[in-house]
Amino acid sequence: MLRVEKNLSTNSITSYKTDLKRYINFLFNKESIQDLNSIRQIHIRNFIRHLNDQNLSSASINRSFSSIRSYHKYLSSEEKISHNPTQLLEPPKISKKLPKVLSIQEVDVIINSVKLEEFMGYRDKAILETLYSAGLRASELCALEMNNILFDSTMLRVVGKGNKERYVPLGSKAIKLINEYCKYIRSLLINKKKTDGNVFLSKNGKQLTRMTIFNIMKKWTQISGINKDISPHTFRHSFATHLLEGGADLRAVQEMLGHSDISTTQIYTHLDNEYLKEVHRTFHPRA
């Protein structure tokens, strides 16, 4: 149902599987539940409390609850259970944490730390520049294909969550680096048996994984001397924040990020306010 009717990505389906496996294991081993119809609200509350005791983040706990609620809704609609125990349950309160962002200078330092003389230098620099230039998710960058780059119009065609398509402008620096990477490195990596036209390839000519992107970013961040724990999503957060700080329209940023709900994008306006308050505290004589 998730794959065919809701058209969810492989990553989303994997998350559902992880959440529900943990839930079922808890019910079976801790609550001695043998039948789906025996599940009550108290059991779900106990499971949420169990997740909290495991020191999971509020976002992870909320996602697990959402998976459980979707699961019971499905079971009910398919008449596999006689009642839905999640129907009147309120989701756990989630504390909105402001995402970590880098300054413009820090982004420059990380990207410029990439050594082009290394075999994968052109690829790595093009990856970092593209992540920041277009605000892509790591999974979107991994899936990016050559025909998704519209060089003439300097745009990217991005397939995001739920296979939703969007178009994002691509900066001149990113285009230049992609061209150089394709000329010097990608042409050596192409193996028709292993790639379907992905832009960024591994040393073996295969499509990159999200973990590879994370490791690339970690490597060059450490080399740059910036002592921060960052991920590919940090570049995405920085992309959105720097646009809004520069005066970009919230709706335009929402479109570029591929957010279906503008409230998701609005967290970056809060971040901008935090930046303003920090400037005020630092420089105002009576702060």
HSE at residue 231, side-chain half, CA atoms within 13 A, is 8
How is 224-277 classified by DSSP, letter by letter?
A: HT------HHHHHHHHHHHHHHTT--HHHHHHHHT-SSHHHHTHHHHHHHHHHH
CA 194 to chain centre: 25
Cα torsion for 65, 70, 73, 79, to the nearest 10°?
-120
Helices within 136-199 (DSSP H only): 138-143, 172-181, 187-189
Please give the positions annotated as active site.
Answer: 137, 161, 233, 236, 259, 268
**Whole-angstrom distance, CA of residue 249 vs CA of residue 252:** 5
How is 36-100 classified by DSSP, letter by letter?
A: GGG--HHHHHHHHHHHHHTT--HHHHHHHHHHHHHHHHHHHHTTSSS--TTTTPPPPP---PPPP
